[in-house]
Amino acid sequence: MLMLRKTHDCKPTMTDQEVIDFCKNGYVMLKQIVPDQLNQKTMAYLDEHPEGEPQGILNEEWFVDAVIKNPRVSGVVRSLLGENFKLPVIMSNHRVSCPRQWPGGWHRDGGAIDSPRLETLQVFYYPQDTPCVLGPTQLIPGTHMLHAKRRFMSHYGAVRSAVSSEASAGSIFITHYGIWHRATTATGTGIRNLLKYNYWRTASPVRDWITETEPDFTQMDFSPFGGALDKHFAVQVARQFMWLCGYGEGFDFKGGQSWPMTAGAGCQSTEGLPAQLARMAGK
């Protein structure tokens, strides 16, 4: 029987810069945050329930407290999805018998939408040590901003800017649902488990994470990290950050060298910056 879609609330733990970094990268990695005793208990449960969707684990209070409501995870989810976010209702396990001689194709999962809105987060939990030889998931930072259909993505091979999610037991990584990812080749032996689940927004977006002063939006750097993406993606990063702050309706990129293309470059220009934000910055 499926668990009802319950909600959870806690204090946010991210700052403005950390939220911007998530908008740039599309993921947050939290390493070794689940205690070993709980990782081992999870592994024992998965050995008893080796199916691809071990739904019953969502009804185990020890698992919900240690993993689903883990304070480190919850603080990030609360920062990005707002108060009273919905908890997972489906649990998937990418359980693989290693070795596996081929990588998966690049893809984003079904149901991904092209929008500055951030309504859901996809989360992955490694209950066991998962080095490269066990074929951890690869991600390409920033690709949640690339609007491409799956059939146009899967033929790509190695990508220079891809990052591996290899991590020790108890690690959890939180992702934008639309980020490009794939399974990798596994040269080791044994069983690898990777649990995957979602959280959803219930609240309207508002800048209520950790804040100290009103920000100067003209000096924020929205340029994506790495060399894989063009600086023009700064516009999409800024658009999503503005939406998360609750200013999505006022975002109106003017083109050319208007804000946010000039943001973080030492330029005080407010051309293209919503009037309300310009006033907040004292411009």
> Do the beta carbons of residue 263 and residue 238 sit within 8 Å?
yes
Angle at alpha carbon of residue 83, lines to 13 and 204, rounded to 5°: 115
Q: What is the pLDDT of residue 150?
A: 63
Q: What is the pLDDT of residue 14?
A: 98
Which residue numbers in the chain have pLDDT < 70?
1-5, 149-154, 225-231, 264-269, 276, 278-283
pTM for the model? 0.92
d(CA 201, CA 70): 18
Instruction: Convert the pLDDT of each residue in 34-46 to its tens digit.
Output: 999 999 999 999 9
Nearest to 50 by CA among 191, 223, 160, 168: 191
d(CA 23, CA 142): 8
* Residue whose pair of structure tokens reads 């950050």 in the numeric block: 241
What number of residues does the chain have?
Answer: 283
Query: Residues 6 or more apart from 97 whose CB is under 8 A from it?
Result: 190, 191
Cα radius of gyration (the chain): 20
